[in-house]
């Protein structure tokens, strides 16, 4: 019989985890929540963020709870920056056990195909898709048997809407394919690669997106509609996504690779015509 696996705070004991897009800006989003969760499970977390100041907010939250964290400022769409991040982590800690590819942008590449601006499309693909490949390519050189890569997609890849930026939705679909391809390539090295696919969780990014085009009252109405549109009739948070990432980061998922786990309260299984009926 296999030995029982660690639980709770010891789940990631002595692991080195890198979380891209892990800064906290105007509140705790998926990246920051993930960094905090992994640190709480015993990992030493390296937060990688374009804004060092936002990364320092996450670090303070982790350290206030007794965890340990480094902050590195980097643009993950840059191969040079990705190599520098991995080099620094390797020099300080010797290896990377967990890579969470969370860094993404969504506010470029908006609009209908007829209005698509090439520069916006390229910017989204560079950060959301190429950035994952670059960070993974650099990180695997320091990874060994038992390591885990977790990529963040979105239900925008599964449920399409005219309101969702075309480049963003396309990049998130490609991330799911990238995940399965990397899992196939890296499996022989004992490196697992999985994907978490969040639904309409309420985060600072979601609030900013709604507030940019709605009054406060309209935001609350739209938020309630999102809540009631899912079978579980509850609102998802960054912590719900972080818990799924923690599962893939830990040995609890040691025999799972190449999978995409949808965390959406059941949104994708709903018939839209019944979305607001109770």
Three-state DSSP class for residue 46: strand
Q: CB under 8 Å to 203, separation ≥6 — which residues?
A: 27, 28, 29, 30, 237, 238
Interatomic CA distance for residues 75 and 219, integer angstroms? 31
User: What letter would DSSP give residue 44?
Assistant: E
Nearest alpha carbon to residue 62 among 11, 98, 28, 14: 28
Would you call 274 a catalytic residue per the annotation?
A: no
DSSP class of residue 237?
Answer: B
Choose, from 57, 77, 132, 168, the residue flagged as catalytic: 168
What per-residue string of b and e applies to 29-59 under the rule 16 or more CB within 10 Å gives b? bbbbbbbbbbbbbbbbbbbbbbeeebbbbbb
Q: How many Cα neighbours within 13 Å face the side chain of 14?
A: 2
**Range list of β-strands (E), the chain:** 16-20, 44-49, 68-73, 98-101, 148-152, 192-198, 260-263
Residues 254 and 53: their CA atoms lie apart, in Å, by 35
Q: For residues 166 and 251, give the distance between their C-alpha atoms in angstroms, rounded to a whole number.
A: 36
Residues marked as catalytic: 168
């Amino acid at each position: 019989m296999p030995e029982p696996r660690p639980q709770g705070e010891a789940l990631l004991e002595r692991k080195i985890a890198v979380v891209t897009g892990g800064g906290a800006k105007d509140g705790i989003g998926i990246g920051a929540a993930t960094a905090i969760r992994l640190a709480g499970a015993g990992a030493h977390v390296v937060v990688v963020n374009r804004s060092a100041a936002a990364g320092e907010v996450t670090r303070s939250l982790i350290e206030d709870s007794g965890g340990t964290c480094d902050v590195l400022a980097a643009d993950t769409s840059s191969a040079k920056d990705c190599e520098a991040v991995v080099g620094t982590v390797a020099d300080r800690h010797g290896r990377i056990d967990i890579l969470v590819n969370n860094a993404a942008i969504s506010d470029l590449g908006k609009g209908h195909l007829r209005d698509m601006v090439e520069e916006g499309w390229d910017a989204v693909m560079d950060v959301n898709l190429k950035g994952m490949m670059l960070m993974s390519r650099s990180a695997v050189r320091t990874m060994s048997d038992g390591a885990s890569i977790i990529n963040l997609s979105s239900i925008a890849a599964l449920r399409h809407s005219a309101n969702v930026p075309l480049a963003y939705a396309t990049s998130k679909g490609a991330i799911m394919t990238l995940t399965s391809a990397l899992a196939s390539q890296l499996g022989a090295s004992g490196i697992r690669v999985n994907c978490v696919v969040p639904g309409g969780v309420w985060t600072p990014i979601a609030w900013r997106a709604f507030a940019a085009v709605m009054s406060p009252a309209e935001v609350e109405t739209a938020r309630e509609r999102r809540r009631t549109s899912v079978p579980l009739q509850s609102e998802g948070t960054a912590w719900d996504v972080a818990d799924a990432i923690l599962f893939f980061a830990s040995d609890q998922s040691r025999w799972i690779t190449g999978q995409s786990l949808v965390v959406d309260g059941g949104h994708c299984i709903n018939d839209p015509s019944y979305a607001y009926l109770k």
